[in-house]
Structure 1
Amino acid sequence: MPEIIRMGGLELRFLQDKVGTQGSLDMFEMALQPNARMPVPHHHESWDETVYGLSGTSTWRLGESTVQVGPGETLFIRRGVVHGFTNATQDVVTCLSVLTPGVLGPGYFREIAAHLAAGNQPAMRETMLRHGLIPAP
């Protein structure tokens, strides 16, 4: 059974992880509640990310651009590019995210969820940096 991790208005359902794929990829379905957003926009230098829209439309910041991702649409996030997302709608939005190679796994997201629940912003930053995510200024 896939692991589900809740972080505020986000819910991640892990389908594949770095352990099961021997580092090839991480894959999770993400559900964004109305008005949910990425807790901390960031970039990563060790992996790329591909997002595939399943339902609803999310709004992504990709570098200096704003991109809408709806059902059947994809967004490729090259390593080193600052990104973040919001669900500016009143509907739940779902998408599939694939990280290549697989470097995070669910452990990172469990840590971030605990820091969010505790309101511990400094610990979130430390966890992000330890796992190779660089928060945007």
Structure 2
Amino acid sequence: MESQVDKGTGNYSKTLSIGHASPSKIPWRFLGQYKYRILEDGSQTQYRLCIIESAIPPLSDGPVFHFHEMHDEGFYVTKGKVRFHTPGQHIDAGPGDLVTVPIRLPHKFSNPFDEEAVFINTITPGFFVRYFEYLEEMIGDGKTLTREVNMEALKRFATVPLTDAMVKQFEEFYDDLAEKVNGN
């Protein structure tokens, strides 16, 4: 007997369509000195995935150290270089490089270089997309994104912003772990 699509699956599939974003038709939005545009807001994936393109100006620090309680991130660099930090180490990623950040890994990114950097950011599940809109609302037009505003906005979206003391604790933890791995 040949398999057939059940009625429920058939009815559900009628509600679906392929998502398509043309970045050149999506205007940049501003978070102080940073630019972003939402390529997929989660509406095509029941918020299992969102995709954002971000541009970071040269010689800029990026967000505060933080970790996410509920979503993983991917970063695909398309222009310039982005420095991805975890406590005690960093990776410089250039065009074509992909960086993934799992839930609960403390991280941040920056652009300490002389050229604008651009990356595509995936977030799964995609509810964190609202963070960008909320942060934009908090800082308003033409204002600078401050550490304090960044930390306050992160807290609303299952994200833990780290104080300098917390970053130091993580650095010590990773140093202890490295010593154990290396047999010291």
Same fold (TM over 0.5): yes
Mapping of residues 1-137 of structure 1, within 5 Å: 1-2=25-26, 4-105=28-129, 107-116=130-139, 117=143, 124-137=150-163
Q: Deviations over 1:8-36 (max 9, x none)?
A: 22111110012332112110111111112
Q: Residue 49 of structure 1: CA displacement? A: 0.3
Q: Evaluate the alpha carbon distance shift between residue 91 and residue 27 of structure 1 in structure 2; reply closer, same or farther with a 3 A threshold.
A: same
Q: Residue 62 of structure 1: CA displacement? A: 2.5
CA contact (8 A) 1:5 1:109 kept: no
Runs of 4+ deviating beyond 4 Å: 118-124
- For these two proteins, the number of residue pairs brought into alignment is 136
SS at match of 1:131: coil
Distance 2:126 2:92 in 1: 25
Amino acid at match of 1:38: G
Q: Residue 39 of structure 1: CA displacement? A: 3.0
More helix by share: 2
Distance 2:56 2:91 in 1: 16
**Which consecutive unaligned segments of at least 5 residues does structure 1 have?**
none
Structure with max Cα Rg:
2
Q: Which moved more, 1:24-33 or 1:34-43?
A: 34-43
Higher relative CO (CA 8 A, sep ≥ 6), structure 1 or 2? 1
Residue identity over aligned pairs, in percent, reads: 24
SS at match of 1:88: coil
Distance 1:39 1:53 in 2: 17
Distance 1:103 1:61 in 2: 23
SS at match of 1:103: helix
* TM-score normalized with structure 2 length: 0.66
Amino acid at match of 1:90: D
Q: Evaluate the alpha carbon distance shift between residue 126 and residue 12 of structure 1 in structure 2; reply closer, same or farther with a 3 A threshold.
A: same
* TM-score normalized with structure 1 length: 0.86
**Which consecutive unaligned segments of at least 5 residues does structure 2 have?**
1-24, 164-184
SS at match of 1:82: coil
Q: Deviations over 1:64-115 (max 9, x none)?
A: 320111011111101101111111111111111101111122x321221343
